[in-house]
Amino acid sequence: MKSSGIAVVAGLAVVVLGISLLRVMSGGSSPRERGASPPPRRVKGVLKLANDHQELYSKSGHDLTRLTEKAVERLAAGLSPEERNVLLGRGTEQAFCGGLLDNKEAGTYLCRLCGLPLFASDAKFDSGTGWPSFFQPTDPAHIRNVPEKSGGQVYAEILCMRCRSHLGHVFHDGPQPTGLRYCLNSVALRFFADGAELPAEARPVSSEKAYFAGGCFWGIEDRFQQVPGVIDAASGYAGGATSKPTYEQVCSGATGHAEAVRVSYDPKRVSYQELLEWFFKFHDPTQMNRQGPDVGSQYRSAIFVSGETQMQMAKDHIAGLQESRRFGDREIVTLVGRLETFHEAEEYHQDYHAKHGGSCPLP
């Protein structure tokens, strides 16, 4: 539990009442309690599929936004009859006849239709089934599984997440460490040997980074992951002097670090200015060294910049907010400073909302 801030205000009746109300409204115990783990919420780049054509990114930075039917047909114009039958007609090529079955070169296997990276050669193995087989994809978010059942056997059809073309099937009889066998049609793949330049559609998007601190990083991370154009958000520590700080050290308030979030974003879809606007919607920038029940310098409001452009934009935005009196007579106490080092937090802090179904409530 994040107890450092709560302990300071635990004796205040108003805060206790407020926390109690939050628990009632959320239908249970506080999301800060480690034991509480409601069903995980869908998150950007992995599971968030509420809108079929919304902007999606994988953890490896690839654009997974589903292609429109027109785009798919345009890409399919050059397919051979066999390729079209497999990719679009959900067919299966004849066993032991695929051109990539015996390929042992080191490299990457892309979706034949849209070029999304799917499998790497170091995950390929000889299954003896007559089709190229792999025990894991390059990024699990690049594959969409559609469960099927036949003759008592449970397996799944595998589709390319971006273009939804049919690739093959996955079975639970593969080697360790996954125990899976991704059984692919050769005609559903394109192979590029190591050292060869990958086509543009196979590369991660060109991203930029921004760094924000506004209370518990669980909540700020979760909010930014929902912003269209954000590729990923990671929790960590910034603004302190201690090298390789731990969570316990930061909680003590002695390291000078703030709980911060690194936001990787696609500048073609969301600007730094827009991220600033979201940041000041996500938290209360008038609270000094705290956010709600979280008290301490590690919960301060801060923007860590990586250049003069970000520095000036952040300062101008704060000045504009103060002048607009959006927060009334309260002073905005958000600090703006140059980023020295960002230390990623421990793994159990990453994607906390997705793992546990809750995060620190923000004011």
117-120 and 107-111 strand pairing = antiparallel
Catalytic residue among 111, 114, 160, 183: 183
Q: Single out the residue in 152, 174, 202 at which a domain terminates.
A: 202
Q: Closest by alpha carbon to 211, among 160, 144, 279, 124?
A: 279
183 is catalytic: yes
CA distance 207 to 230: 9
> Residue 359: what pLDDT?
61
pLDDT tens across 195-237, in order? 999 999 999 999 999 999 999 999 999 999 999 999 999 999 9
362, part of any domain? no
* Per-residue tokens: 183: 């059984």
Among 134-143, 148-157, 186-195, the minimum mean pLDDT is found in 148-157
Q: Which residues pair with 166 in a beta bridge?
A: 159
Q: Which of 111, 216, 251, 360 is catalytic?
A: 216
The 3-state DSSP class for residue 349 equals: helix
> Is residue 343 within 8 Å of residue 237, measured between CB atoms?
yes
Q: Which of 166, 185, 202 is the last residue of a domain?
A: 202
Taking only the tens place, the pLDDT of each residue in 146-187 is 998 776 777 899 999 999 999 999 999 999 999 999 999 999
What pLDDT does residue 362 have?
A: 62
Are residue 217 and residue 197 in the same domain, yes or no? no
Q: How many CA atoms lie within 13 A of 348 on its CB side?
A: 6
Tell me the CATH number at 112: 2.170.150.20
CA-to-CA distance for 14 and 170, rounded, in angstroms? 54
In the predicted model, what is the mean pLDDT of the chain? 86
Query: Which among 150, 171, 202 is the end of a domain?
Result: 202
Q: Do the Cβ atoms of 233 and 174 come closer than 8 Å?
A: no
What DSSP string runs through 312-326?
HHHHHHHHHHHHHTT
Among 126, 132, 133, residue whose Cα is nearest residue 99: 132
- The dihedral sign for the CA sequence 62, 352, 223, 235: negative
pTM for this model (two decimals)? 0.73
**Token duo for residue 312:** 């000036």
Q: Summarize pLDDT for 240-263 with one digit per residue, the tens.
A: 989 999 999 999 999 999 999 999
Q: Is residue 77 part of a domain?
A: yes
Domain encompassing residue 160: 69-202
Judged by average pLDDT, the poorest of 23-27, 125-129, 249-253 is 23-27
State yes or no: pLDDT of 95 exceeds 70. Answer: yes
